[in-house]
Structure 1
């Protein structure tokens, strides 16, 4: 297979990839405004709780290390 034929095959594969990707995106059921708002609130609450959890763990570990190292 010649060089130009390989390039042509590569372009066809690339265009097939993007066409297939576009077809799959058309099948997606996108969330509405109400769902998106509730999902965003859930994410923010979970991130806040995890941040508080790790802050407490960090504080406890630093206190224990201060007691050990004096």
Structure 2
């Protein structure tokens, strides 16, 4: 992070003791096609993914 807005957000995350959580994904390779597929199946009105096998939701226990 180097631009002023990023530094401001970083400071807020540090003050909230949440900075370590924000860095968990650093260095992970992401699959853009997989992410797009999940975005297409997201239903904001129910906060679930609508999959061929049924609805799927992510809870805090899953994180």
State the structure with more CA Rg: 1
Q: Which has the higher helix share?
A: 1
With normalisation by structure 2, the TM-score equals: 0.27
Q: Which has the higher strand share?
A: 2
Bigger RCO of structures 1 and 2 (CA < 8 A, at least 6 apart): 2
TM-score, with structure 1 as normaliser: 0.26
